[in-house]
Chain A
Amino acid sequence: DSGVTQTPKHLITATGQRVTLRCSPRSGDLSVYWYQQSLDQGLQFLIQYYNGEERAKGNILERFSAQQFPDLHSELNLSSLELGDSALYFCASSQVAGSPLHFGNGTRLTVT
């Protein structure tokens, strides 16, 4: 168990809808990362937060947004969903720069 908690585990929704994915980092970890993994694909970096502030942005669509709250949990908001957004979304956390990433078990999003 990595200590990173992601909810929900599965999400099925229709095109055009909006969903929120939640991540609770490991105790003591200040950094949260979001990754997208499509079927049989690698891990695409979306965005990173450190202690509530955005630190780095990857290939995150404008329809997607995220934030990290004072209690360090993070939410990834996906709006105007398209079929191609169906994927596994992983959250990872790390203590400080230079420390390993610890991944949650992901949220599987299916857009129908």
Chain B
Amino acid sequence: QQQVKQSPQSLIVQKGGISIINCAYENTAFDYFPWYQQFPGKGPALLIAIRPDVSEKKEGRFTISFNKSAKQFSLHIMDSQPGDSATYFCAASITSGTYKYIFGTGTRLKVLA
């Protein structure tokens, strides 16, 4: 119940294309769903986050779509650029009590020039 399942494990997209990464969770107590971006040799950095009271959040070329009934959320990267090549992690958290983040297993994105 504490797992967050992320797919695909790796993704290759042409420059200008749309990158889509999916995550699914089981625990309905999760109430905060961030996405992190990690470049080699660096720590993960918060990219965008959503709470379950909205179905979509957009920041620039990055959009989170959230489906509460299906317990799924996804990251869409529009107009993907070679600079977007990185590993992306979804996460889920319960923002009360122990406030423990659970991360997905990561998606390695490569955007071809």
Contacts and interface: CB of A to CB of B under 8 A. Distances in A.
A41 B42 CA distance: 15
Nearest to B106: A42
A52 B109 CA distance: 38
A2 B37 CA distance: 13
Question: Chain A contact residues (Cβ within 8 angstroms of B): what range?
Answer: 20 to 34
Binding site of B, secondary structure by majority: helix, strand, loop or mixed?
loop
Interface of B: 6, 32, 34, 36, 41-46, 49, 89, 95-106
B44 A103 contact: yes
A4 interface: yes
B96 A97 contact: yes
Given A43-B89, A43-B103, A56-B98, A2 B34 contact: no
A97 B99 contact: yes
B44 A90 contact: yes
Interface in A50-107: 50, 55-56, 58, 90, 92, 94, 97-98, 100-106
B104 A48 contact: no
A43 B96 contact: no
B44 A100 contact: no
Nearest to B6: A42
Contacts of B97: 97
B43 A31 contact: no
B100 A45 contact: yes
Nearest to A33: B101
Contacts of B89: 42-43
Contact of A103 (B6, B32, B43): B43
17 contacts: A2-B43, A4-B43, A31-B99, A41-B105, A41-B106, A42-B6, A42-B104, A43-B89, A45-B102, A45-B103, A97-B96, A97-B99, A100-B34, A101-B101, A103-B45, A104-B43, A106-B42
A105 B44 CA distance: 8
Nearest to B95: A98
